[in-house]
Amino acid sequence: MSDAAIVALIIPAALALFIWNRVPAVIVGVGVSLALFATGVITASQALAGLGDPTVILIAGLFVVAAGLEAAGVTTWAGQKLVETAGGSKSLALLLVMLMAAIFCAIISVNATVAALLPVAVIVAIRLGVPTSQLLLPMCFGAHAGTMLTLIGAPLNVIAYDAARDAGYGGIGFFEYAVAGLPIMIGSLAIMYLTQRFLLPHRDGLNLPADFSSHAATLVEQYRLEDGLHRLRLRETSPLVGQPRSAVDLARYPGLAFVAIEDASGGVSTRDSLAAGDSLLVRGDADWAGRLAGDLGLAIREAAGDAAQTLFNRGSGLAEVVIPPRSGFIGETAFPGMATPSGDLMILAIQRGGEDLGIEPVTIAAGDTLLLQGTWAAFDQRLADPRVLAVHSPELVRRQAIPLGHRAWQALGVLLLLVVLLVTAPFPSAITAVICAGLMVVLGVLTVPQMWRGVDWNTCILVGGMIPLAGAMTQSGLAQDIADGLILLIGWAGPLAVLAGLFAVTAILTQVMSNTATALVMLPVAVASGPEMGVSAMPMIIAVTVGAHAALLTPMATPVNLMVVGPGGYTFGDYWKYGLPILLWWLVVCVLIVPLWWRFDAAPL
């Protein structure tokens, strides 16, 4: 059996497994490489080369940059601005949600965009009295529509870039995709805006994402932190000035519990030493607070009225934890104002059965809830301890509730550097992505564990596993055979018909399998079909790229389509009814606009 025949058998088997959806796509992708090796079509080094391919490294680096932007609260800030700008207008809210999703997708992945904007869109819907089904699918499809504005809009843009470069066309410029992407986005948003009321259901989802926008105020109220809260400012003559934080000892003041040290700007101080102008926040009896102020040269300021804003900000926050059964903390003594053994977190309150246990020392029991205060970095490091269970992930709370949080400007600077380096191309794209991903960690935007969690390894390994298939299709001659068949079938109608056919086949496949896998299967066919007809392959490559992005007709087409099913209360039919007019517009762009820029008569470089 020839190599082409073997590859021709492996492809439909892989497609069947993708459609069956019982075997993880990443396993299918790796299995394709192993099958090609086992049948002798490629060598062992070729089978494994995809996992270290520069394309995979570039995609992983882009995921890290996107995770840094999300962790720094850039998307949260934009979401809050959306709510403010929309005011009470439902139509404006719809437009802004779709437009924001499209723009975000130009700089971060579609998965990160939808995950970040999903809670925002739900909040907007609830506040405006709009069914969530009227906002979430437009947001999701708006994100799809924005994936072709830049090179980094989606992993398959990078794959198409490599295909064009390897075919001798010099790749695709950073903003060049926007020639097709901008009309796609504008037309898609217009279609969605005009048809949303008629083609989408009017219902709310059963499982809505949590709203953490008022999380701090909720915790302050539940744990009654503002009851008996006092702010005591350090005068320049106070003996505490210049002393370490540990010098604040309330052992001689049994009616008080330490809460935090506030700096002059009103936020929780993270310095190691105390300075004039800092304030001690303490809870408890007013008489004891007066004694403390007199003894240590402190000025009693107005009652600390906004504990939520003081304790929950860019530098520090609050976290609620539960003591699980068999925890190592059971039987230990604790009290409000006590530092944890690590020294970087503080207990603000303890409750048992919903009742506050006061400021006196208590013996910890299973089921107790503790409110902790500390820096976000401390929460990331300490709350993985199995002896406690976080009620809500501090990382998730921070990303949704803190706009332009810690290191936001550093994250935006790295993004700007990424764009400049990709546009000017002083280094290979993969090297640029590695540099920028590393800077996200060096500048403190992400920790190393957060960096690893930010990478969608399923996508990276899937792409790495499927890259050898693309090479095998070209090497064995199968891509040329498929291109010959397509041209024999519709080539008589001219290059535009072949371009439309490639788009249609790709768009159909991407509804039931990964769009990256679809692109890797169809791009070799696109590259072969152009020269076979005596024209440039570039329009064909772009048509396949657009078709692979058009995952609009089924919920299983992409993870983000599935992400909104529950919160939006959608059914299978909602997708194709709303997505079909958009997909037809994408076909129009491919046929009428793509050949105007990527001309059929253009020669390879």
Decide if 243 is inside a domain. yes
CATH of the domain at 257: 3.30.70.1450
Q: How far apart are CA 561 and CA 575, in angstroms?
A: 9
Predicted pLDDT at 343: 66
Question: Kind and range of the H or E element at 346?
Answer: strand 345-352
Predicted pLDDT at 56: 79
Closest CA to 412 of 433, 443, 455, 375: 443
Residue 604 confidence (pLDDT) above 70:
no
Mean pLDDT value across residues 304-332? 79
Q: Could you please report the per-residue DSSP string of 240-284?
A: TTT-BGGG---TT-TTEEEEEEE-TTSSBP--SB--TT-EEEEEE
Residue 375 near residue 316 (C-beta atoms within 8 A): yes
Q: How far apart are CA 191 and CA 578, in angstroms?
A: 9
Decide if 262 is inside a domain. yes
Residue 494 confidence (pLDDT) above 90:
no
Decide if 464 is inside a domain. no
Question: Kind and range of the H or E element at 6?
Answer: helix 3-20
Q: Could you please report the per-residue DSSP string of 383-412?
A: TT-TTSEESS-HHHHHHHH-TT-TTHHHHH
Decide if 119 is inside a domain. no
Residue 492 near residue 588 (C-beta atoms within 8 A): no
Residue 315 confidence (pLDDT) above 80:
no
Question: Kind and range of the H or E element at 63?
Answer: helix 54-71
Decide if 444 is inside a domain. no
Which residues sit opposite 347 in a β-bridge? 372
59-92 per-position pLDDT tens digit: 788 778 877 877 777 767 776 777 777 766 778 8
Q: How far apart are CA 131 and CA 307, in angstroms?
A: 34
Note the residue count of the chain: 605
Q: How far apart are CA 258 and CA 229, in angstroms?
A: 10
Decide if 387 is inside a domain. yes
Q: What is the 3-state secondary structure (H, E, C) of 112-131?
A: HHHHHHHHHHHHHHHHHCCC
Q: How far apart are CA 316 and CA 385, in angstroms?
A: 19
Residue 113 confidence (pLDDT) above 80:
no
3-state SS, residue 67: helix
Structure tokens at 286: 């007013």
Residue 261 near residue 268 (C-beta atoms within 8 A): yes
Residues 477-486: contacts with CB under 8 Å, at least 24 apart: 477/3, 477/4, 478/4, 478/7, 478/8, 478/11, 478/524, 479/524, 479/525, 479/527, 479/528, 480/528, 480/532, 481/4, 481/8, 482/525, 482/528, 483/525, 483/528, 483/529, 483/532, 484/532, 486/525, 486/529
Decide if 43 is inside a domain. no
155-190 per-position pLDDT tens digit: 888 888 888 888 888 778 888 888 998 999 999 999
Predicted pLDDT at 586: 94
Angle at 65 between CA 59 and CA 67, to 5 degrees: 105
391-419 per-position pLDDT tens digit: 888 877 777 677 776 678 888 888 888 87
Q: How far apart are CA 399 and CA 405, in angstroms?
A: 8
Residue 286 confidence (pLDDT) above 60:
yes
Regarding predicted confidence, which is higher, 17 or 401?
17
Burial of 45 (0-12, 13-18, 19+ CB in 10 A): exposed
Residue 112 confidence (pLDDT) above 80:
no
Predicted pLDDT at 517: 76
Residue 602 DSSP one-character state:
P
Decide if 339 is inside a domain. yes
Q: What is the mean pLDDT of the chain?
A: 80
Regarding predicted confidence, which is higher, 435 or 463?
435
Helices H, strands E: what count in the chain? 27, 11
Q: Which residues contact 417 (CB under 8 A, 6 or more apart)?
A: 435, 436, 439
Q: Could you please report the per-residue DSSP string of 475-494?
A: HHTHHHHHHHHHHHHHGGG-
Predicted pLDDT at 45: 86
The separation between CA 572 and the C-alpha centre of its own chain, rounded to angstroms, equals 25
Residue 303 confidence (pLDDT) above 60:
no
Structure tokens at 11: 């492809």
Residue 388 near residue 324 (C-beta atoms within 8 A): yes
Mean pLDDT value across residues 272-288? 80
pTM for the model: 0.68
Q: Could you please report the per-residue DSSP string of 439-455?
A: HHHHTTSS-HHHHHHHS
Residue 308 confidence (pLDDT) above 80:
no
Q: Which residues contact 71 (CB under 8 A, 6 or more apart)?
A: 395, 398, 399, 405, 411, 445, 446, 450, 454
Q: What is the number of structural domains in the chain?
A: 1
Sheet with 355-356, strands from edge to edge, namely 355-356, 345-352, 369-375, 316-322, 389-390
Please give the share of the chain, as a percent, with pLDDT higher than 90: 9
| Per-residue confidence band for 543, with pLDDT thresholds at 50, 70 and 90 | very high
Residue 220 confidence (pLDDT) above 80:
no
Structure tokens at 89: 């207008």
3-state SS, residue 232: strand
Predicted pLDDT at 570: 82
Q: What is the 3-state secondary structure (H, E, C) of 571-596?
A: CHHHHHHHHHHHHHHHHHHHHHCHHH
Range of the domain at 329: 213-391
Residue 370 DSSP one-character state:
E
